[in-house]
Amino acid sequence: MLLHKSVQHDSRVRREAKALVEAGHEVLVLELAPVPVAERRLDGFHRRSVEPRPWVKRMPHHMYRALCLLAFVRSVARVRPDVVHAHDAAMLLPGLAAARLTGARLVYDTHELATGVPYRERFWAWFVGAVERIGVGRADAVITVSDGIAERLVTRYGLSQRPVVVRNVCDLERRGEGGLRAALGVGAGTPVVLHQGAPAEDRGCEVLIDAVAQIPDARLAFLGDGAPAFAATLRERAVSRGVAGRVSFLPSVPLGELLAWTAEADVGVSLLQDTCENHRLALPNKVFEYLAAGVPVVVSDLPELRRIVLEHDVGRVAAAADPSAVADGLAAVLAQRDDAELDARVARAAESLRWPLEQQRLGGLYAGVDGASGRG
């Protein structure tokens, strides 16, 4: 597997690598990040850093990227795997080159609609599209995270075979006693709204603060380490809306404890803004984690999110740019805090939206390439 960052905090890559190990494959993750000697084995798979020497990072950006590409190709050539599994567009070109060099099969795993992300530079947007035009059709198999993105890939690249959808569903178990309400200093009677994951731009964080300002007594928790500058902006907004005492920013908690913390909330929120096609077709991890913890949700009125929430009837859909609409959705869910039928629907959704089904899809894909190295 090729990854342009550390696998340590990438739950999707870790789930997939672990699943392949359990299926009998030997898995090595090559990472563009340091890998301490003591951490070269994780969840049953092996890790290796391909990060260039420090002086390389001081080179011009495009030259640095080219050298990183060569580092991945060289590392794959030394291993000579049966399959090269390239995660995201950044790894498609080195994955394709390495697969051709070694005769391995290529699996392209795109975690987003890469051409639908609002990249900062026009050249980079063009480059990503060009890389996918070259590589997607040449991959032996393609994986993505939602049906909508799978359909876009088929249309855009004229694929004869629809990509396999492996959603970012939750594989965590609820362990421990949590700590969300203790960290907020509130008891069981106080309604708690949870935004799980680092607060960031275009995630509706500002709208969420405005919405909570319309719900007396509700507490809002941002659970996850975000950029300090953006967190400061959100704090200022909370002050300006008169809810500074009801909005809290909490650091990330270990994955093993996450669901126990999440379970103490009354409603979980995912408010991706409709700023790009990638957002419109996304299925954020946090939505599956809320449901796995037994928490109903309020989500953006975007196609993939709407489909999940309405199909399972586990919360409300709201116009993510409208604070009043979000407030209405939150109030409706909070009014059902003791609704046994809603709790039962959430529990059923959690059972059907768990990792074993996605793991079967991944295993089925690999059954088609397993043992076929392409070396003739």
> Residue 6's domain is classified under what CATH number?
3.40.50.2000
CA distance 128 to 126: 6
Per residue in 77-91, pLDDT tens? 999 999 999 999 999
Pair of tokens at residue 259? 């669901």
**Among the listed residues 166, 160, 124, the one whose alpha carbon sits nearest the alpha carbon of residue 19:** 166
DSSP 8-state symbol, 20: H
pLDDT for 121 = 62
pLDDT for 375 = 42
Amino acid at 25: H
CA distance 357 to 375: 32
Q: Are residues 204 and 78 in the same domain?
A: no
pLDDT for 172 = 86
Q: Are residues 234 and 349 in the same domain?
A: yes
Phi, psi of 145 (to 5 degrees): -110, -10
Residue 376 covered by a domain: no
Q: Are residues 202 and 330 in the same domain?
A: yes
**Among the listed residues 315, 318, 311, 110, the one whose alpha carbon sits nearest the alpha carbon of residue 214:** 318
Residue 175 covered by a domain: no
Per residue in 134-185, pLDDT tens? 999 999 999 999 999 999 999 999 999 999 999 999 888 888 889 999 999 9
Are 178 and 264 contacting, i.e. CB atoms less than 8 angstroms apart? yes
Per residue in 31-55, pLDDT tens? 999 999 999 999 999 999 998 887 7
Our count of domains for the chain comes to 2
Residue 174 covered by a domain: no
> What residues contact residue 282 under an 8 Å CB cut-off, 6+ apart?
112, 145, 146, 272, 302, 304, 305
Residue 30 covered by a domain: yes
> Residue 309 belongs to what domain range?
180-353
Residue 235 covered by a domain: yes
Q: Are residues 207 and 292 in the same domain?
A: yes
pLDDT for 205 = 97
pLDDT for 313 = 97
CB atoms within 10 A of CB 227: 12
Are 48 and 29 contacting, i.e. CB atoms less than 8 angstroms apart? yes
Are 59 and 102 contacting, i.e. CB atoms less than 8 angstroms apart? no
230-239 long-range contacts (CB < 8 A, ≥24 apart) are 230/199, 230/200, 230/201, 230/205, 231/199, 233/206, 234/199, 234/205, 234/206, 234/209, 237/206, 237/209, 237/210, 238/209
pLDDT for 237 = 97
Q: What is the DSSP string of 292-312?
A: HTT--EEEES-HHHHHHHHHH
pTM comes to 0.86
pLDDT tens digits in sequence order for the chain, 376 residues long: 999 999 988 889 999 999 999 999 999 999 999 999 999 999 999 999 998 887 777 778 778 788 889 999 999 999 999 999 999 999 999 999 999 999 999 999 999 999 888 765 677 778 888 999 999 999 999 999 999 999 999 999 999 999 999 999 988 888 888 999 999 999 999 999 999 998 999 999 999 999 999 999 999 999 999 899 999 999 999 999 999 999 999 999 988 899 999 999 999 999 999 988 889 999 999 999 999 999 999 999 999 999 999 999 999 999 999 999 999 999 999 999 999 999 999 999 999 998 999 999 999 999 988 655 444 3
Amino acid at 271: L
Chain position carrying tokens 């599994």 = 85
Q: Are residues 14 and 150 in the same domain?
A: yes
**Among the listed residues 144, 4, 29, 149, the one whose alpha carbon sits nearest the alpha carbon of residue 83:** 29
DSSP 8-state symbol, 142: E
Pair of tokens at residue 197? 């994951």
Q: Are residues 203 and 289 in the same domain?
A: yes
Q: Are residues 341 and 268 in the same domain?
A: yes
Q: Are residues 133 and 209 in the same domain?
A: no
Q: Are residues 245 and 153 in the same domain?
A: no
Q: Are residues 338 and 196 in the same domain?
A: yes
Q: Are residues 202 and 159 in the same domain?
A: no
CA distance 288 to 281: 15
pLDDT for 370 = 67
Instruction: Report the Cα 269 to chain-centroid distance in Å.
Output: 15
Residue environment code for 260-269, b if the CB has 16+ CB neighbours within 10 A, otherwise e: bbbbbbbbbb
Residue 282 covered by a domain: yes
Q: Are residues 17 and 165 in the same domain?
A: yes
Are 247 and 220 contacting, i.e. CB atoms less than 8 angstroms apart? yes
Residue 232 covered by a domain: yes
pLDDT for 68 = 87
Residue 375 covered by a domain: no
CA distance 33 to 239: 38
